[in-house]
Amino acid sequence: MSQEGEQEQSDRKKYEFRKVIEDLKDYDGSGTQLVTIYIPDDRQISDVVQHVTQEHSEAANIKSKQTRTAVQDALTSIKDRLRYYDTYPPDNGIVLFSGAVDSGGGRTDMVTKVLESPPQPIESFRYHCDSDFLTEPLEEMLADKGLYGLIVLDRREANVGWLKGKRIEPVKSASSLVPGKQRKGGQSAQRFARLRLEAIDNFYQEVAGMANDLFVPRRHELDGILVGGPSPTKDEFLDGDYLHHEIQDNVIGKFDVAYTDESGLKDLVDNAEDALADAEVMKDKKVMEEFFEELNAGELATYGFEQTRRNLMMGSVDRLLISEDLRKDVITYECPECGTTEREVIDRRKSTPTHTCTECGTDVEGSDEDREDAIDHLIEIAEQRGTETKFISTDFEKGEQLLNAFGGFAGLLRYSTGV
Ligand SMILES: [Zn+2]
């Protein structure tokens, strides 16, 4: 799959995950009876089953009969789900949620959800039993965007690594042979200064080589490079054009850091917080700028569910833009009198309304079978037509406008369709 294809898959997956998480967060368990399990992909399923069995027998000690039964039911349900897997979980692991949730009026419902292959690997096994489902680790993964290259250096040592979402991955380090400022007796001051400058230059070259080896092969995926160190080292390093030009062009900021060992990488990311937040929405900003330009002066913009859908059907949409915060369903109505098909987009939490046919005025009852997630509906068409889908954040003005003024759906067209 192409990199863009993969990105799209993961955006769609993130959307599916986000929906499930929102539902889960709405649930309350009474007492301690909602069970969440995070399983990394290198953990044997049989180990997990054993753990769950153990918890099940320990739950026998819970005093309240209601809670005891609820926890044991949740664990049984989880064990049932685990049967579907072979030796190991799928890539990146799985998360299971199960428990008796408050469904109003003093009644409870059993809910079990399984999320496979989250966008990032689950790093450690977690068993959690509480009045809420544990959704935070997943939420953090979903919030994570971006791939950044990290370089920290002074004249003595350097470290390079990755920032993948919120995870820092140190990769390589180097230390220099640059002599201190004090020359030894017998050396001429000039000769010493020259040797020292040479050694510094060599070290910068070595660091740049290390960074280039790591970053150049992935330069098209990179969202930016951060450079940290004391002044003037980092400035000397950047001004000296040691880095590959495509990497150099991608430097989004330089920052003071106190250390240049592995902990310096963390220091760097902490200090670059604002630059990172900007870089994250930068791509979304660019595409929304393009949309507004087309809207004002061009012919290649469309918006609103129905218009966007029609353009998608024609295959004329290059990029489908969807607001990240949009939560809508679409209901398809077919008029029994005149056969006209029409759609209504409604809030996810609203019940299915009756639709009045715009052709003949007949009232058409909506059915839940003809109701689906509006985003899924459009993405499915987009995938068939080779249209790229982009989820747009609402953390900036034009992103907010997409949601509030344009119904959350828009498209940039390949050619003008007049629709
Ligand atoms: Zn009709």
Give residue limits of the domains in the chain: 3-142, 147-182+191-279, 298-413
Is the pTM higher than 0.85? The answer reads no
CA of 360 from ligand 1 middle (Å) equals 4
Instruction: State the Cα–Cα distance between residues 92 and 106, nearest whole angstrom.
Output: 38
Distance, CA of 100 to CA of 112 (rounded, Å): 9
Whether the CB-CB separation of 64 and 131 falls below 8 Å is answered with no
Structure tokens at 352: 């299915």
Ligand 1 centroid–CA 356 distance in Å is 8
Query: What's the pLDDT at 277?
Result: 81
Query: Which residue, 160, 138, 271, is CA-closest to 222?
Result: 160
Domain topology for 3-142: 3.30.960
Structure tokens at 118: 């989250």
For residue 193, the CA-to-ligand 1 centroid distance in Å is 89
* Predicted local distance difference test score (pLDDT) of residue 108: 83
411 CA to centre of ligand 1 in angstroms: 29
* Residue 334 Cα to ligand 1 middle (Å): 8
Digitized pLDDT (tens) for each residue of the chain, 419 residues in all:
445 555 556 677 888 888 899 888 888 776 678 999 999 999 999 999 999 999 999 999 999 898 899 999 999 999 999 999 989 999 999 999 999 888 777 788 889 999 999 888 898 999 999 888 999 998 888 876 688 999 999 999 999 999 987 789 999 999 987 777 776 666 788 888 888 889 999 999 999 999 999 999 998 889 899 999 998 899 999 999 999 999 999 999 999 998 999 999 999 999 998 888 888 788 889 999 999 999 999 999 999 999 999 999 999 999 999 999 999 999 999 999 999 999 999 998 899 999 999 999 999 999 989 999 999 999 999 988 989 999 998 989 999 999 999 999 999 999 999 88
Two domains, one topology: 3-142 and 147-182+191-279: no
Cα-to-centroid distance, 365 and ligand 1 (Å) = 12
* Selection from 244, 242, 260, 250 nearest residue 226 by Cα: 250
Q: Which helix (H) or strand (E) holds 164?
A: strand 157-164
Q: How far is the CA of 408 from the centre of ligand 1 (A)?
A: 28
In angstroms, what is the span from residue 374 Cα to ligand 1's centroid? Answer: 23
Distance 357 CA to ligand 1 centre (A): 5
Q: Give φ, ψ of 36 to 5 degrees.
A: -125, 135
| pLDDT at res. 31 | 67
Residue appearing with tokens 């990290």: 150
Burial 262-282 (b: 16+ CB within 10 A, else e): eebbbbbbebbeebbeebbbe
Q: Which two tokens stand for residue 276?
A: 């990172």
Which residues are within 5 Å of ligand 1 (an ion), measured at CB? 335, 337-338, 340, 357, 359-360, 362
| pLDDT score at 1 | 43
- Distance from C-alpha of 92 to C-alpha of 78, rounded to nearest angstrom: 19
Query: How many angstroms separate the CA atoms of 89 and 215, rounded?
Result: 31
Distance 343 CA to ligand 1 centre (A): 13
The rounded Å distance from CA 18 to ligand 1 centre is 37
Domain 147-182+191-279 part of CATH 3.30.420.60: yes
140 alpha carbon – ligand 1 mean position (Å):
47
Ligand 1 center to 366 CA (angstroms): 14
User: What does the pLDDT read at residue 25?
Assistant: 87
298-413: CATH topology:
60s Ribosomal Protein L30; Chain: A; (3.30.1330)
Q: How far is the CA of 352 from the centre of ligand 1 (A)?
A: 18
- How remote is the CA of residue 344 from the centroid of ligand 1, in Å? 15
Distance 371 CA to ligand 1 centre (A): 19
CA 369 to ligand 1 center in whole angstroms? 20
